[in-house]
């Protein structure tokens, strides 16, 4: 993930324009998956790139995990200032998703069920699952976003997946009489 946008010595307006063009849409999508407002996610992306410009000498060549880390901290500051939980993104146009069952066969569950299971997890569990599942980062990249070692991120991911599976098993299964709609991540 991420695009190499130039050597560390040449962090001028051209470098920044390339970084912005390469990663803006990824940061907006990151915000959309965490906020219920497209304007707020665009504003978040703008704030992330303001930080990137100010701290351009610190931006690594593989910039996307670093930018996600900035976005995560900005969101955490915002949520702390509101003293409330983040808004949940309503998933329009899809109410079912496919997840792997314990037998390895696919099981169809509702997006609302997945969101309900995620909601009972800690914010850190939710974030590691989002980074790996939604943002498609590697464990090493997720560790960079979270500010921890790769080993710590791998353990957090393993435990979060276990807690999510447990939360999902506590939910009722879909009725066999309901129509089944399967969506892919790209459709969300």
In-domain check, residue 160: yes
pTM of the model: 0.61
- The pLDDT of residue 112 is 75
Query: What percent of the chain clears pLDDT 90, i.e. is strictly above it?
Result: 51
Reported as type and span, the H/E element at residue 100 is strand 96-100
Q: Domain tally for the chain? A: 2
Q: Tell me: do 109 and 62 sit in the same domain.
A: no
Identify the domain containing residue 18 by its residue range.
13-82
Q: What's the CATH code of the domain at 106?
A: 1.10.10.10
**Which tens digit of pLDDT belongs to each residue from 69-105?**
999 999 988 877 766 544 444 433 333 344 444 444 4
Q: What is the mean predicted confidence (pLDDT) over 3-32?
A: 84
3-state SS track over 30-92: HHHCCCCCHHHHHHHHHHHHHHHHHCHHHCCCEHHHHHHHHHHHHHHHHHHHHCCCCCCCCCC
């Amino acid at each position: 993930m991420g695009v190499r946008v130039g050597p560390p010595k040449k962090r001028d307006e051209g470098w920044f324009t390339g970084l912005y063009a390469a990663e803006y849409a990824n940061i907006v999508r990151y915000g959309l998956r965490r906020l219920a407002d497209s304007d707020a996610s665009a504003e978040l992306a703008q704030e992330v790139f303001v930080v990137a410009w100010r701290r351009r000498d610190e931006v690594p060549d593989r910039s996307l995990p670093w930018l996600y880390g900035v976005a995560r901290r900005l969101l955490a500051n915002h949520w702390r200032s509101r003293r409330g939980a983040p808004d949940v993104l309503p998933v329009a146009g899809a109410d079912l998703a496919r997840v792997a069952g314990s037998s390895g066969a696919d099981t169809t569950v509702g997006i609302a069920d997945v969101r309900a299971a995620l909601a009972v997890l800690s914010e850190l569990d939710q974030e590691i699952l989002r980074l790996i599942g939604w943002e498609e980062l590697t464990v090493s990249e997720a560790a960079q976003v979270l500010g921890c070692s790769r080993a710590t991120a791998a353990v957090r991911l393993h435990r979060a997946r276990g807690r999510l599976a447990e939360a999902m098993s506590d939910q009722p299964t879909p009725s066999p009489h309901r129509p089944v709609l399967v969506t892919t991540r790209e459709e969300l």
